[in-house]
Amino acid sequence: MTGPSTADALVRYDIPRPRVARITLARPDVRNAQDTRLLYALNDAFDVAARDNDVSVIVLAADGPHFSSGHDLFELDPLAAIQEHRTVGTWCGFDCDGAEAQMAREKEIYLGFSERWRNIPKPTIAAVQGKAISGGLMLVWPCDLIVAADDAQFIDNTVAMGICGAEFFHHPWELGVRRAKEMLFTSDAVTAADAYRLGMVNQVVPGDELETRTLELAERIAQKPAFALKVTKEAVNAAQDAQGRVPAMQTSFALHQLCHSHNQQVHGQPIDPGFALPANSRQAGTAW
């Protein structure tokens, strides 16, 4: 079994079934909050799975009661942290003044990573339990299939922070425009049952069956010819892109950056300070 170097165990990598790689978020103490190091570790793990010809399907899972609390608002110096890594996009200027550095960072590790993972030429399956909040959605939605535990909840609370939705603005594509607006305007959770009814998730299973049911699905898919899987994914993604997904995403990302700049000018910080972090927020988590 081979895997990326994850000595600090922010993610784990294993091959639980033939031709199935599993990447597991392993920061349960902070509900898998995503700091810069975790996102690069996750990206490295996806690359290992993508390049391994003995892997046909990739599962993304998470330790603990919640899939992910979103981006880690407690990371001490995120703009410095990104410069410790070899970036995978072409954007730069992470040490520039004004809006430039914030935009560069979010283009690289938020929108850039989520798009990159969405386009991995192998089927990906997210196994989701508990809450996936804002940045958490940006790990779930790039996956091709989603298996949800019956306690799963999908939440975007960025509007409450003065921001127009998470950086990977897939809400209308996942939920339809009307439910997307409701999710964003209210910050209310979309339950697993609602997500299934809306076609956002493929299966809802009892929580204690999440692992086995996800791996069974992955193993069944992995028995199909790998190249056919690869180009089928490409064909479906192309159909979605032909509906205008890419330019819509560029517009929403630009508006997201406008919100950060507005908050910076008005409040002196990139999110509205009126947003109250939940009690015990280190565990509850939020996202920009």
Taking the least distance from each CB to Zn ion, the nearer of 46 and 288 is 288
Q: Which residue sits closest to Zn ion, CB atoms considered?
A: 288
Q: How far is the CB of 260 from Zn ion (least distance, A)?
A: 6
Question: Edge-to-edge strand order for the sheet containing 57-62?
Answer: 11-17, 20-25, 57-62, 124-128, 145-149, 203-205
What's the min distance (Å) between Cβ of 271 and Zn ion?
8
The nearest distance, CB 188 to Zn ion, in angstroms, is 21
Task: Kindly tell me which of 231 and 258 has the beta carbon lying closer to Zn ion.
Answer: 258
Q: Nearer Cβ to Zn ion, position 134 or 214?
A: 134
HSE-up of residue 199 (Cα within 13 Å, Cβ side) = 8
Q: What is the DSSP letter of 112?
A: I
Cα 276 from chain centroid?
Answer: 23
- Between 41 and 271, name the residue whose CB sits nearer to Zn ion: 271
Whichever of 40 and 288 has its CB closer to Zn ion, that residue is: 288
Q: Do residues 264 and 273 touch, judged by C-beta distance below 8 A?
A: no
CA-to-CA distance for 222 and 153, rounded, in angstroms?
28
In the complex, the residues that contact Zn ion under the rule CB under 5 A are: 106, 288
Minimal distance, residue 137 CB to Zn ion, in Å: 13
Residues facing 57 on adjacent strands: 20
| Distance in Å, CB of 270 to Zn ion, minimum | 7
CB burial of 188-204 (b: ≥16 within 10 Å; e: otherwise) equals ebbbbebbbeeebbebb
